[in-house]
Structure 1
C-alpha cells in the first residue's frame, strides 16, 4: 500500500509480519469455528477474555489516529507548498494530481457500489461476521440534511472534535493550519514543521510497537469472528479481496485512455513503456523502489524529457497516490455493507473529502501503518465502525499489490500528460 519504501530492515520486518498476521487470521478463524462446534474451555469467561484482548489491541491502534493524522496533514501540506514554489512545471503537476485524485474519488463510489450491486455481500456471511460486533456509532443518519454536514466542516472546538472522533472537522482544521503555517517566515515555519514531523514519527513508532503484537491481536479478533461466523467468514473475506482488487484493476485500465486523450500517446506505446515499471511494482509493492525504472521508462519509452521525469515522478511518489482513496473508500463501503449501514450523501461527501486529504499525509508510510491510519478517519467520517479493519489488514497483501501497480501506472500517465502539455512536438499519433 505504501508509496515509499522503508529501509530494507523495515521492509523485511513488515513482510514477515504480514505472513504472521495472515497465519493468525487463519488460525483464529479455525480456532473460533472449532470452539463454536465443540465448545470452548472456560466457556463464556474465556470468550470474554479473548474479546477483551482483541479490543485492547484495537484501542492501542485507535489512540494514535488523531495526533498522527493531524501531524501528517500539516507536514504533507508543507511539502506540497514547497514543491509548488519550485516552478510552473511542479505547480502544473500538482494541479493534475488534484484533478485526478478528485476524479478517483468519484470513481471509487461508482465502481464499489456498482460492483457490490452486481455481487452483493452474502447476507448470511455478513450477519455472522457482524454478530457480536459493537453497534454502529451515532452519526449522520440517512435523512440528515446537508446543512448538518456543512456544520461539521468548521469545528467550533477542534480539541472537542478530536475527543469526539469528529474526524472531518479535525481534518479540515489541520488543512487550514497547514496552509496557514506555509505563510509564516522560515524562522517560525521550519521549527513548527519539524515539531509535527517529530510528533508523526513518534506516533509511527507507537503504531509499529502495536503492530509487533498484531498476530496476537488479530488472532483474538479472528477467533471472536470464528466463534460466531464459523468457516462462513472465509467466503466473505474472499469476496472482499476480490472486490477491492477488481475495483483497482478498473482504475489501472482507465489510465490508458487518459494518456491517449491528454498525453498524446498511443495505447500500445504507453502499455509497452509502463510494463517494466509495473512488474517492479508487483514484485516490490513499493512505488519508491519502482522510481528508478519509472524514470528510465519515461525517458526512453514514453518520450518524456529527463528534466520533466526528474521533477514530476519524484514529486508524484512523494505526494500523489491515486489508489489510496479508491481502495480506502472501497474498504469503508464494504464494511458498511457488512454492517447493513446505508451511507447518506452527506456522509459520502465527508468521506470523499477525508479520503483525499488523508491520502496526502499517509504517503510513504509502511502498508500496515497506512492501512489503519488512512481508513479509520474515513470510517469515522462516514459513520462506519472500525472493528473489521484489523481483520481486513490480515488479507491486505493481495489488494496491496494492485494499489502499488495502480500508483506506478498513474505516476507514469500524469508525467506523460504534463510533458504532452509542454511539448506538442512529442505528439504520438501511433496506436
Structure 2
C-alpha cells in the first residue's frame, strides 16, 4: 500500500468519526429497543426499512473484501520478499514476524474458544441476537459443516475465479500466496509493474472503504435499530461481552512481548518495561503504530539496540508486522461463530487460523475501523461464520483497537531486541 493510500485512510479514521459511529450504534439500539413496545403494525415496517438500509451499507462493505484480499496479499508478500533480500537483519526480522504472526493466530483461535466456553454469553441473549441478526441478513444462518475430506479437497482451487465468486477464501488465499511468491522469480521490471498495479488497486479500494465508512453512522444506526427491535437489551449484553473478551486477547498478546524482550532480547525486565512506557503512551493516545515509531526508535536506543538494527527492523515492523492482528482477528471470527451458535469443524478452524496468519502480512498499519472488515471477513468466511455481525462490531472497534496498537508497539520493540541479539557478531 502506498503512503498516499495510507494517508487518505488514516484521515478517514481520525477525528470524531469513530465516536459518531459508536453513538449511532447506541442510539440505534436504544431506539430499536423502545420500538419493541409498539405494536407489530409499527415495529415490523420500521424493522424492514432499517434492515433494507443497513443491508445496503453491509453489501457496500462486503463488495471490497475479495479484491482487497488479493491486492493486499500480493503487495504485502512482495514487500516482505523485497525486504528479506536487503540483508541479514531484514531476513532475521522477517523470520521473527512469521513466527510471531503464526503463533499469534493459533493463540487467538484457541484462547477465544476457551474464553467463550468458560464465560459464555447467556443462552437467552445469544438466541435473541441470532434472531435479530437473521432479520438483518438471512445469510447469518449457519451453512452445513464440511467434512475434513472436503476441507483438504478444497484447498487448491480448480477455478480461482469461481472461488472468488463463491467467497471460498482459503483456496483464493493459497492461489494469491503462490502468485505473489512466483513474482519474486520473474524479472525485476515486470515484477515491479505487477506490484505497482496491485498497489494502485489496494489504494483505490481503501479509498472506497473510506467512503463507505464515511456514511457508517447511517448504516450502523439502521443495523442497530433492526437488531435492537428484534433482540432488545440482549444486544447491549452481547456487545459488552464481545468487547471484554476480545480486549483480553489483546492484553495477553501485549504481555507476551515482555518474555520475548527479556529472554530472546536479553534485556532486564525493569529496564525493558521502563523503555516501553513512552511508545505505549503514544500508542494508547493515537491508536497508530506509525505515530508511535519515533517513540519506539527512542526506546530501542535506550535499550542499547544497535542503530542499524533499530533503523531496519522497526520501520519494517510498522509496515509489515502486526502481532496482535492474527490473534485478535481470529478471536473476533471465532467469537462471531460462537455468537451465532455455529460449531466449526476442525478443518474450518485450521483454515481460519491459517488465513488469520497469512492475511496479516497484507494488513495496513491503520486504526482498526479502516481495516476491520477487510482483515476479519476473510477469516470468518474461511471459518464458515457470517460476516454481517462485523458491520455492528466495527462500531465498537475503537475500544479493542487500543489494545491492538498497544500490543503491536510492545511486540515491535520486543522483536527488535531479539533481532539485535540474534544478529550480533559472535
The interval holding the TM-score normalised by the smaller chain is: over 0.9
Deviation at 1:283, TM superposition (A): 0.7
Partner residue of 1:144?
A: 147
Deviation at 1:420, TM superposition (A): 1.2
Partner residue of 1:23?
A: 23
TM-score between both structures, scaled by the size of structure 2? 0.94
Deviations 1:126-178 (A, max 9, x none): 1111114125466561x712x32222221010000000000111111111111
Partner residue of 1:210?
A: 212
Q: Indicate if the aligned counterparts of 1:140 and 1:344 stay in contact, CA closer than 8 A.
A: no
Residue ranges of structure 1 left out of the alignment (5+ in a row) = 426-431
Query: Aligned partners of 1:31 and 1:405: how far apart in 2?
Result: 34
Residue ranges of structure 2 left out of the alignment (5+ in a row) = none
Partner residue of 1:119?
A: 119
Partner residue of 1:428?
A: none
Partner residue of 1:224?
A: 226
3-state DSSP class of the match of 1:154? coil
Query: Aligned partners of 1:249 and 1:43: how far apart in 2?
Result: 41
3-state DSSP class of the match of 1:244? helix
Deviation at 1:272, TM superposition (A): 0.8
Partner residue of 1:108?
A: 108
Query: Aligned partners of 1:64 and 1:7: how far apart in 2?
Result: 19
* Number of residue pairs matched by the alignment: 420
Deviation at 1:47, TM superposition (A): 2.0
Deviation at 1:64, TM superposition (A): 0.9
Query: Aligned partners of 1:123 and 1:368: how far apart in 2?
Result: 29
Partner residue of 1:304?
A: 305
Compared CA separation, residues 315 and 18, structure 1 to 2 (3 A): same
Compared CA separation, residues 235 and 43, structure 1 to 2 (3 A): closer
Compared CA separation, residues 89 and 176, structure 1 to 2 (3 A): same
Deviation at 1:7, TM superposition (A): 3.6
Partner residue of 2:67?
A: 67
Query: Aligned partners of 2:8 and 2:208: how far apart in 1?
Result: 20
Compared CA separation, residues 216 and 279, structure 1 to 2 (3 A): same
3-state DSSP class of the match of 1:293? helix
- 2:359 maps to 1:361: no
Deviations 1:63-102 (A, max 9, x none): 1111111011111111001100101110011001111111
Name which of structure 1's ranges 186-195 and 164-173 shifts more when overlaid on structure 2.
186-195
Q: Indicate if the aligned counterparts of 2:258 and 2:269 stay in contact, CA closer than 8 A.
A: yes
Query: 1:287-326 residue pairs with structure 2 within 5 A?
Result: 287-300=289-302, 302-326=303-327
Q: Indicate if the aligned counterparts of 2:288 and 2:365 stay in contact, CA closer than 8 A.
A: no
Query: Aligned partners of 2:100 and 2:43: how far apart in 1?
Result: 53
Query: Aligned partners of 1:179 and 1:277: how far apart in 2?
Result: 34
Compared CA separation, residues 8 and 109, structure 1 to 2 (3 A): closer
Deviation at 1:44, TM superposition (A): 2.6
Compared CA separation, residues 9 and 112, structure 1 to 2 (3 A): closer
Q: Indicate if the aligned counterparts of 2:5 and 2:206 stay in contact, CA closer than 8 A.
A: no
Query: Aligned partners of 1:278 and 1:39: how far apart in 2?
Result: 51
